[in-house]
Amino acid sequence: MGKDAKKTLLVPPISKAAPGPLYQQIVDGIKREVSEGRLEPGTPLPSFRLLAEQLMVSLITVKRAYAELERDEIIFRKQGLGTFVSQDGVARSRQIKREQTEALLREALREGYEAGMDDKELLDMAKRLLKEGKE
Amino acid sequence: MGKDAKKTLLVPPISKAAPGPLYQQIVDGIKREVSEGRLEPGTPLPSFRLLAEQLMVSLITVKRAYAELERDEIIFRKQGLGTFVSQDGVARSRQIKREQTEALLREALREGYEAGMDDKELLDMAKRLLKEGKE
DNA sequence: CGAGTGTAAATATAGCATATACACAGTATG
DNA sequence: CATACTGTGTATATGCTATATTTACACTCG
């Protein structure tokens, strides 16, 4: 009966209300999919139009997201063919996320110091959050 | 000899190149000064014009920054009088920074997980950054 | 009233997002 | 084999919103 079966979205949903620009949300979502192995190297990504329709955004928004992912060498594009996950996309993606982790940790620790917290308090908070994340 | 002595700036320098809007940089700078005790409750803050001149930004940028600080009840303003650090400004500021610390830690840990790191790796990275910060 | 303060309105500028039209690659078909 | 077709990515012109500037106004105290 037509196009009711939505198939599992190849990318997570995004929202204008969420923090950060739409194209960045798409970038983050795809980086996560690649990093966690749900999008393997060589796999074709959804076309601009399909992804734009699924996420209810415009073409150029998807284009901008893919452009940034290509700049990071996580994907590559071929005119008239499509967009694909690059061979070392998983390693690239994980490396970027690792650097981002360190940057965020630095920020968090600095903010904690400025709040008057000491090393132990900060580590305890981190441990608590790690446990909470497991539930 | 006039106004050559710049006096120690009551707020840290800002830059259009730095990440985030100018008014946010001012907000963060003042929150830090208050949080770390260099701006005590009751202390008058620089006037809109003075601060705007020192930081080389426009009046409304300072106004917006002060407005956000007043919303957080860290400072209060009096028409025709000036702007001052509120009585519980230090506690307010530290509480906000503490919440921000937790939010940043959550983000960092999630990003680390997506990069394939485990709990121990994350905690070790945090400990390493804590030591680096001490040098 | 004068010199200080904060307040408000009208006006650029930049990033983000949209819609529309264009160019390239593979494939079906007469 | 030439051609049209349907898919892909590409490029241009347009609108919107947050950020920041300029300029003029209103309040407080001496």
- The ipTM estimated for the assembled molecules is 0.85
Nearest CA in chain A to B29: A114
- Taking the CA of residue B81 and the C1' sugar atom of nucleotide C4, their distance in angstroms comes to 8
CA distances from A74 to A10, A34, A63, A87, B24 (A): 16, 8, 14, 8, 32
Nearest CA-CA distance, residue A116 and chain B, Å = 7
| A53-72 mean pLDDT | 95
With beta carbons less than 8 A apart as the criterion, state whether A25 and A71 touch: no
pLDDT at B2 over 50: no
Residues 9-68 of A with CB under 7 A from strand D: 45, 47-50, 59-60, 63, 66-67
Q: What is the pLDDT of residue B78?
A: 87
Measure the CA–CA gap between B108 and B111, rounded to whole angstroms. 5
pLDDT at A41 over 80: yes
Protein residues with Cβ atoms closer than 7 angstroms to any atom of nucleic acid strand C? A 16, 21-24, 56-61, 64, 78-81; B 45, 47-50, 59-60, 63, 66-67, 77-83
Between A134 and B48, where is the model more confident? B48
Mean pLDDT of chain A: 90
Measure the CA–CA gap between B101 and A40, rounded to whole angstroms. 34
Break chain B into its structural domains and give their ranges.
Answer: 22-89, 100-134
| A56-81 mean pLDDT | 92
CATH architecture of the domain with residue range A22-89: Orthogonal Bundle (1.10)
CB contacts, 8 Å: A127 with chain B:
123
pLDDT tens, residue by residue, B75-109: 999 888 999 999 999 999 999 999 999 999 999 99
Q: What is the pTM of this model?
A: 0.87
The answer to whether A98 contacts B115, with C-beta atoms less than 8 Å apart, is yes
pLDDT at A1 over 50: no
